[in-house]
Structure 1
């Protein structure tokens, strides 16, 4: 069904067979990328953390919404007060800075909706790079190609359609 402007009302995708880009951003982090909307300035990413995965310290330029479905994780800076377990929802305001630490006991999975970019820092606090919708889209596609996986459809933004690049 389309509107009078021939734009689909909604897009649905099944992610069960979508390949995971492995070791993206940090060893042990795998991602699926349902949405990389460059024009809208946001991305939706399914994440899978191997036990003990630690992401680089990063600052968010926009708000982040997260929902944990498996395992557990917390922020190094906030300890147990930031523990996320299955069913946990987290809101991170723009400007929040933290280091995500996944459970050492089990695989952890969470879905994040990330607005803007996140700026990565090394252990000395030096800026080392960023991820936003454009960078994440490129890294996702490049990683899947290197792994020999087919590039799946994902929402690319700018209009309501699917794309592979």
Structure 2
């Protein structure tokens, strides 16, 4: 530090920039209400934590309650992951993501997520930046997800389950 703060325990006294987004604070990321989990496919859900429309990324929990192949996809930007429960791996790599472990996936990474037979539930926190491109084994595009498709999925699900279309707004920045 260059300077000593004479009042280190005094909160900041000025207003925040008027253009700054509000904080997102979620006391318990594992929700008690299962309706918060948005279905993505059979036995696959995500729980939004932050959907950054202004920066093009999303942070969510991915929950899988079955073993097997999930998806093959390519990332256009970096991805960060932290395994909260269970374990998983990619067909294209020899490492395994285990409970308590961190994973960094660089831009251009293409992989196929596998949940092993002996894992009944996997939950991983992911920060996905940019686009997820679903591809076949030769790289042909089959579909995509971005923060806007995630928001749309949330709006539809929250409307259908009775939480209301605007429930997702608390996660959008």
Q: TM-score range by the shorter chain?
A: 0.7 to 0.9
Distance 1:82 1:142 in 2: 36
Counterpart among 98, 104, 118 of residue 117 in structure 2 = 104
Distance 2:84 2:59 in 1: 15
**Structure 1 regions of 5+ residues with no counterpart?**
158-165
Alignment of 1:1-150 (within 5 A): 3-6=15-18, 7=20, 10-14=23-27, 15=29, 16-17=31-32, 19-22=36-39, 24=40, 26-78=41-93, 81-105=94-118, 106-122=120-136, 125-150=139-164
Task: Give SS of 1:55's match.
Answer: strand
TM-score, length-scaled by structure 1:
0.81
TM-score, length-scaled by structure 2:
0.77
Task: Give SS of 2:92's match.
Answer: coil
Give the C-alpha shift of residue 77 in structure 1: 1.7
Task: Give the number of the structure with larger relative contact order, counting CA–CA contacts within 8 Å between residues 6 or more apart.
Answer: 1
Counting matched residue pairs gives 153
- Please give the root-mean-square deviation of Cα atoms over the aligned residues, in Å: 2.3
Compare CA radii of gyration and give the structure with the larger one: 2
Distance 1:67 1:73 in 2: 11
Distance 2:129 2:151 in 1: 14
The reply on whether 1:154 has 2:170 as its aligned counterpart is yes
Task: Give SS of 1:154's match.
Answer: helix
Task: Give SS of 1:10's match.
Answer: coil
**Structure 2 regions of 5+ residues with no counterpart?**
1-11
Structure 1 stretches of 4+ with a deviation exceeding 6 A read none
Judge conservation of contact 1:65–1:91 (CA < 8 Å) in 2: yes
